[in-house]
Structure 1
Amino acid sequence: MINILMIEDDIDISSLLAKFLAQYGMNVQCVETPKAALNALQLDQYDLIILDLTLPQMDGLELCKLIRKDYDIPIIISSARSDLTDKIIGLEYGADDYLPKPYEPRELVARIQTVLRRYRPTLRNEGSDFELNEGKMQIRFKGELLDLTTAEYEILRLLLLNAGTVLSRDYLANNAESISWESSERTIDVIISRVRNKIGDNPKQPRYIHSIRGAGYKFTP
């Protein structure tokens, strides 16, 4: 689960985005003021911040600078302010991306996924047979680079990042950029089958990717 802090004083916008992002395995905590945001950062850990610029108490650019001073957390500025100067200053103050409003929520998902890939380029658990390099979009199995299609990489990546958690077919389809949200459950099953073949995982007695009847798939490290 990806934990996100959204700093947005428009409750309607933050509520809609939080519900939308939940479909992609993103848990969003919404706060309306800079003070509430700074308090939240002291109490919990977040994977990413979505920051509006027009806020009470303090301008969002100053808040971005303040957060970057104390926290190494990716920041995406999401603002209706279209002045190029705001974008430049935001990036200079430490924001990782600037997304002008209005935008399609699906674009926000893509921006979040791209920024997170830069922050966590390599994942390797001690004792695991898999090594994930998100920066290069590569996965090694027992030291050998797997020859994966984009869809196969995305599905295996999701399983690795959520090891021990049952992921539904809908979740896998929604969170794989190369797979259409209209794809059938059968499409996911076919991709899983191809991944299993490439890692030698017997579907009847799986070591890594387990089918959970009526629920989806679970990866065991």
Structure 2
Amino acid sequence: MKLLVVEDDVRIADVVRRTLQEGGYAVDVVHTAPAGVEAFEIETYDLVVLDLMLPGLPRGGMDVCARIRDLNQDIPILMLTALDSTRKRVEGLDAGADDYLVKPFHLVELLARVRALLRRAPRAQAPILRAQGVALDPATRTATRNGRTIVLTAKEFAVLEYLMRNAGHIISSSELITHAWDSNYEGYSNVVQTYIRYLRQKLTLSGEVEIIQTRRGAGYVIVADT
């Protein structure tokens, strides 16, 4: 899943970004209200972490939140604020935020609230994703196949989760990079092929059907259970 963080404090933004990435999410970060609006208009995100006090627009994060809601009624928005006042919290929720965190906050709580919002999102699918004997639980970040535990890195989990959420559909390498890596990714070109190989090695024992199939010239697909 891909998240957008809009936070003008560079130090806080970096900590939030690293925390979310360690949680298995691809993360884009911008530091002003106009940049937040522009990023959302250009890219596709699954959740937005939005600071309240942002430069560049008259009401800062409130204006960004309102604009996002104009474009998308369903995407979860977690608002960050240093102002622990009922009025500001109400204003943020009225502007379209789904939840808020008051600074300073614990990073484990940030991750918990992100997971909770993603689970509640209207576009979210079943809590546990299943296909070809694999069960993937986004809430606990765990995976099994035919009852055995599969230990995945955060990036492996992100790639497999996106493929399983789109089971039955061919997903191109560029689409996987868009959703499992951030927009500033400039790594090696065969990174998707490498991670698909890692996943196949971990998911498939001798005699088992290969869960991730290659459609040459098109991408990868996990066949949905019928």
**TM-score scaled by structure 2?**
0.59
TM-aligned CA deviation for residue 209 of structure 1: 6.4
User: Could you give the per-residue CA deviations for residues 44-70 of structure 1, whole angstroms, max 9, x where no partner exists?
Assistant: 111111111111123222321222122
Shift of 1:71: 2.1
Query: Residue 163 of structure 1: SS of its match in structure 2?
Result: helix
Deviations 1:128-161 (A, max 9, x none): xxxxx12xxx56679xxx9x9x899752495862
Structure 1 position 163, deviation (Å): 3.4
1:121 Cα shift? 3.3
- The one-letter code matched in structure 1 to 2:11 is D
The answer to whether 1:107 aligns with 2:117 is: no
Q: Residue in 2 aligned with 1:121?
A: 124
Question: Counterpart in 1 of 2:6?
Answer: 7
Q: 1:67 to 1:207 in 2, by over 3 A?
A: same
- Residue equivalent to 2:170: none
CA contact (8 A) 1:49 1:76 kept: yes
Q: Give 3-state SS (helix, strand or coil) of 1:62's partner.
A: helix
Kindly indicate whether the alpha-carbon contact (under 8 Å) linking 1:9 and 1:55 is maintained by their aligned counterparts in 2: yes
- Distance in 2 between the 1:82 and 1:74 partners? 21
Give, in whole Å, the separation in 1 of the partners of 2:108 and 2:95.
Answer: 26
Alignment partner, residue 64 of structure 1: 65
The structure, 1 or 2, with the larger RCO (C-alpha pairs under 8 Å, 6+ apart) is: 2
- Percent identity between the two aligned chains: 31
Contact 1:208 1:220 in 2 (8 A): no
State the secondary structure of the residue aligned to 2:163. coil
Return the offset for 1:93. 1.8
Alignment of 1:76-95 (within 5 A): 76-95=78-97
> Which aligned pairs between 1:176-187 and structure 2 lie closer than 5 A?
none
Q: Is the partner of 1:206 in helix, strand or coil?
A: coil
2-side partners of 1:46 and 1:139: how far apart?
20
- Give the secondary-structure state (helix, strand or coil) at the position aligned to 2:63: helix
Distance in 2 (CA, whole Å) between partners of 1:56 and 1:152 is: 34
Q: Normalised by the size of structure 1, how large is the TM-score? A: 0.60
Q: How many residues were matched structurally?
A: 162
Residue aligning to 2:41: 42
The answer on whether the counterparts of 1:207 and 1:220 sit within 8 Å (CA) in structure 2 is no
Q: Is the 8 A contact 1:50 1:75 kept in 2?
A: yes
Structure 2 unmatched ranges of 5 or more: 145-156, 165-202, 213-220
Secondary structure, aligned partner of 1:204 = coil
Give the aligned residue type for 2:72: Y
Following TM superposition, the consecutive aligned residue runs of length 4 or more in structure 1 with deviations greater than 3 angstroms are 138-142, 150-154, 156-160, 201-204
The alignment status of 1:24 with 2:26, answered yes or no, reads no
Cα shift at 1:8: 0.7
Map of 1:155 onto structure 2: 142
Root-mean-square deviation (CA), in Å? 3.6
Matching residue's letter, 2:124: P
Judged with a 3 Å threshold, the aligned counterparts in structure 2 of structure 1 residues 35 and 140 are, in CA distance, closer, same or farther, namely: closer
